[in-house]
A = this chain, B = another copy of it.
Amino acid sequence: MKGSVYIGVSLDGFIARENGDIEWLEEFGDEEAIPAYEDFIKKIDVFVIGRGTFETVLSFPSWPYTLDVILLSTTIKQVPEKFADKITLLSMKPKEVMAYLSDKGYSNAYIDGGKVIQGFLNDDLIDELIISKLPILIGSGIPLFGHLDVDLRFTHIKTEVHKNGIVRSHYERKR
């Protein structure tokens, strides 16, 4: 079971402002971003998100996920009925989630959202890390990375640069 992260961050490492605002990030969405994402998503067969990402996504005009979604939460007790066929609600630790997904026949999970990514990294369950760095400092917000019990080394695979200044680096976990 492989865990992958594909995310955009400010130059100072934030995925959103404190209040969840990602307008500063969306303005860097460009045509160059589409083929890279499509190439990445081909290998993914399940999304793993947390409550924060779920609540952000609920404000979108339509449900953005085209694959099964695992919602990790200890506070949400039931998924709204309209999402019942799209979402599996789990209250498990990262390692248990990966074992569960493997049992269900999945092979590559997209791990999304700050808290969820941090938890999976701290349990060393992220094999692939693809970070699109935007050329803007926002000073504060929700950080991509958090505490780790031990250092994690990665192998740099490739870096692509967009015309609008996005620098996207692909890393694989060095074990």
Contacts and interface: CB of A to CB of B under 8 A. Distances in A.
A57 interface: no
A138 B156 CA distance: 16
A171 B137 CA distance: 12
27 contacts: A11-B131, A11-B154, A12-B145, A13-B13, A121-B137, A135-B153, A135-B154, A135-B155, A135-B174, A136-B151, A136-B152, A136-B154, A137-B148, A137-B151, A137-B154, A138-B148, A139-B145, A139-B146, A139-B148, A139-B149, A139-B151, A140-B147, A140-B148, A155-B165, A159-B159, A159-B167, A167-B169
Nearest to A156: B165
A173 B140 CA distance: 19
Interface residues of A, number: 35
Please give the count of copies of this chain that the complex contains: 2
Interface in A155-171: 155-156, 159, 161, 165-167, 169, 171
A50 B12 CA distance: 21
A133 B169 CA distance: 10
Contacts of A24: 151
A12 B129 CA distance: 12
A153 B136 contact: yes
